[in-house]
Amino acid sequence: MLVERIFPRDTKRYTDTQKLFEKSGNFIEKFSVMKLFIIWSLTTCGTVLSIGLENRFVYWDWSSGLAGLVRLAIVSVLFFFILQPNKLWTLGSKRLGVNELASHTLMASALIFFGGIGGGAELGRFILNSIPYIFGFLGAALVFQFPLKLDESKGEWFVENWEHKYYYLGGSSLFFSVGILAGFYLDDPVLSTVAMVNLPFSMVALIFPEHVRHLQRARFFPLFIFSLFLCVRAPWFLIPLIILFFFIRTVNYFRYGIAYPSFGVDFDEAALYNDV
């Protein structure tokens, strides 16, 4: 990261600049800003689905940018003032019960539907084509049924409870498989490709011996891949993603001395890893 080269740790420049990010760090922790990645991605998913139903071959389309960014601003306000204060979105922070998993699925569906508002796609067709995306969300959500904990004495992440591993990871693999088949059937290249690329992460965590790295990969990369493929059709989504990514990464560097979020999976520092 460029800021690491400009402000090396253990230098006066780094220490002086740290004070400027104290309030930003408190804001990120208090409001779980990391969770905006999934909130924004689900909303943009609805927008991309809608324009894809209008034109199967749409690519790098900026026309939906203004409306899309307005939608992201609206869902951000809803997240900060309703979802987060009332702890309605707790995915990744703890193992969810059946009712909680159902409520998260309903909220994910609502975000996708909100993202598609104003598009030219027929309502019935939009709802039908959005169902496999809900299966994909469930496939990712089941991986987060294994919250990660940090052993501060060793500086290592570990899974506190592997119970029902085959049930959750098997279900995750099944939902992604359904997404692949549905993507082919509905002629949705985004859905089929994302599900196909994400499936191995859940399968590796399912088949191979229990190891925290498998879950770290299965948690981070499916969301990253999903967001990246959305940007293929809606390139404007890259702008808020990049801003959020580097904002949180910069604040964490000056607040804790770590470069996080990161594409690496072997984190040894205490970070906001569970906030998804």
Determine the pLDDT at residue 262. Answer: 67
Q: Is residue 267 part of a domain?
A: no
Supply the range of the domain harboring residue 210.
2-256
Within 13 Å of residue 218, how many CA atoms lie on the same side as its CB? 34
Q: Per-residue pLDDT for 268 more than 70?
A: no
Distance between start and end Cα atoms, the chain: 22
The DSSP element (H or E) to which 148 belongs, if any, is: strand 148-151
What is the residue type of 232? V
What is the residue type of 43? T
Q: Is 73 exposed, middle or buried (0-12, 13-18, 19+ CB in 10 A)?
A: exposed
- Which pair of structure tokens corresponds to residue 216? 């770290």
- Average confidence score pLDDT of the chain: 88
3-class SS of residue 245: helix
Q: Is residue 174 part of a domain?
A: yes
Q: Is residue 78 part of a domain?
A: yes
Determine the pLDDT at residue 267. Answer: 47
Q: Is residue 222 part of a domain?
A: yes
What φ, ψ does residue 57 adopt, rounded to 5°?
Answer: -105, 15
Give the tens place of pLDDT for each residue, 100-116.
999 999 999 999 999 99
- Which pair of structure tokens corresponds to residue 92? 């990744």
Q: Is residue 51 part of a domain?
A: yes
Determine the pLDDT at residue 130. Answer: 97
Determine the pLDDT at residue 150. Answer: 59
Bridging pattern class, strands 148-151 and 156-159: antiparallel
3-class SS of residue 209: coil
Q: Is residue 159 part of a domain?
A: yes
Q: Per-residue pLDDT for 157 more than 70?
A: no
Determine the pLDDT at residue 187. Answer: 94
Strand partners, 150: 157
Q: Is residue 172 part of a domain?
A: yes
Q: How many domains does the chain have?
A: 1
Give the tens place of pLDDT for each residue, 115-127.
999 888 899 999 9
- Which pair of structure tokens corresponds to residue 150? 């940090």
CA proximity to 28, closest of 261, 268, 239, 262? 261
Q: Is residue 8 part of a domain?
A: yes
> Which pTM does this prediction carry?
0.89
Give the tens place of pLDDT for each residue, 195-251.
999 999 999 999 987 788 888 889 889 999 999 999 999 999 999 999 999 998 888
